[in-house]
């Protein structure tokens, strides 16, 4: 499949709102999402049925954009595309170097972003296996990740920071998730907060796990302590009487 043919095919499967951005793929700007390699990765995933059409953006950021899409079976999925030009190269290296699962890290920005996407897919798999509620990973190619969509036909599930929820239930979910990650998946999230937890009805879903590190990573203890502090600080503001030492004990025991 030639690049021009891939562009034409993908364009035919995009909603009008997404197509406007897609048509700018030839602009060489730091804000571009659909560069040449991303187009070919999306086409690869489309040709294998993981993506049939892309509906609308769920979230946009400096490092990644997430879109709601539909697969060839008609099921809604989420498609996360990591930006090559604007991804935080230094942060990615910090979280990957020292992780025994990812050795021989390249100094090439593009290859590092590909590895970062692969790392998120691997982390999701490990968390699912440990019983942590996260989006189920479906497929991954280069800087494009396909996973379970969390939401309904009209809109994605809101972030915890924007939602009304049972505070005690939310706290219990986070502490339980951290414990399952630590004990069973051998991972530390490293950036857990109200900004990366979705409220899906009466339940919660942990998202954005690319930075999660293996317990053998030299910074894992420091990152776990930071997670515990952030969780305690947030839920104290929500009115709960929580203790950092108690949270740490529940996570590790």
Residue 29 confidence (pLDDT): 43
Known catalytic residue: 208? yes
- Catalytic option among 35, 191, 200, 227: 191
Range with the lowest mean pLDDT among 5-9, 115-119, 134-138? 5-9
Residue 31 confidence (pLDDT): 42
3-class secondary-structure state, position 139: strand
CA 243, CA 5: separation in Å to the nearest integer?
58
Known catalytic residue: 184? no
Residue 34 confidence (pLDDT): 82
pLDDT, tens digit, 9 for 90 and up, residues 162-178: 999 999 999 999 999 99
What is the mean predicted confidence (pLDDT) over 105-117? 82
Provide the H-helix boundaries in 48-194: 89-96, 109-129, 167-180
- Catalytic option among 176, 208, 241, 246: 208
Residue 30 confidence (pLDDT): 39
Per the prediction, the chain carries an average pLDDT of: 90
Q: How far is CA 251 from CA 103, 172, 228, in A?
A: 28, 11, 9
Residue 84 confidence (pLDDT): 83
CA 123, CA 84: separation in Å to the nearest integer?
21
What is the mean predicted confidence (pLDDT) over 117-144? 97
């Amino acid at each position: 499949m030639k690049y021009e043919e891939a562009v034409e095919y993908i364009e035919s499967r995009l909603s009008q709102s997404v197509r406007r951005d897609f048509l700018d793929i030839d602009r060489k700007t730091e804000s571009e999402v659909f560069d040449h390699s991303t187009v070919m990765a999306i086409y690869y995933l489309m040709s294998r049925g993981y993506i049939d059409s892309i509906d609308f953006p769920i979230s946009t950021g400096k490092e990644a954009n997430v879109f709601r899409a539909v697969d060839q079976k008609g099921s809604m999925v989420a498609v996360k595309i990591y930006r090559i030009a604007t991804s935080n190269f230094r942060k990615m290296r910090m979280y990957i170097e020292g992780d025994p699962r990812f050795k021989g890290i390249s100094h090439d920005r593009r290859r590092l972003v590909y590895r970062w996407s692969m790392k998120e897919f691997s982390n999701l798999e490990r968390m699912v296996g440990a019983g942590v509620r996260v989006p189920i990973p479906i497929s991954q190619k280069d800087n494009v990740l396909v996973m379970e969509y969390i939401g309904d036909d009209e809109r994605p599930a809101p972030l915890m920071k924007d939602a009304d929820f049972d505070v005690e239930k939310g706290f219990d979910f986070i502490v339980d998730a951290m414990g399952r990650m630590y004990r069973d998946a051998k991972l530390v999230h490293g950036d857990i907060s109200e900004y990366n937890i979705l409220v899906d009805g009466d339940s919660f879903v942990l998202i954005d796990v690319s930075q999660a590190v293996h317990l053998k990573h030299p910074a894992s203890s420091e990152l776990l302590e930071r997670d515990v502090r952030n969780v305690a600080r947030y839920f104290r503001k929500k009115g709960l009487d929580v203790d950092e030492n108690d949270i740490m004990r529940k996570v590790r025991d």
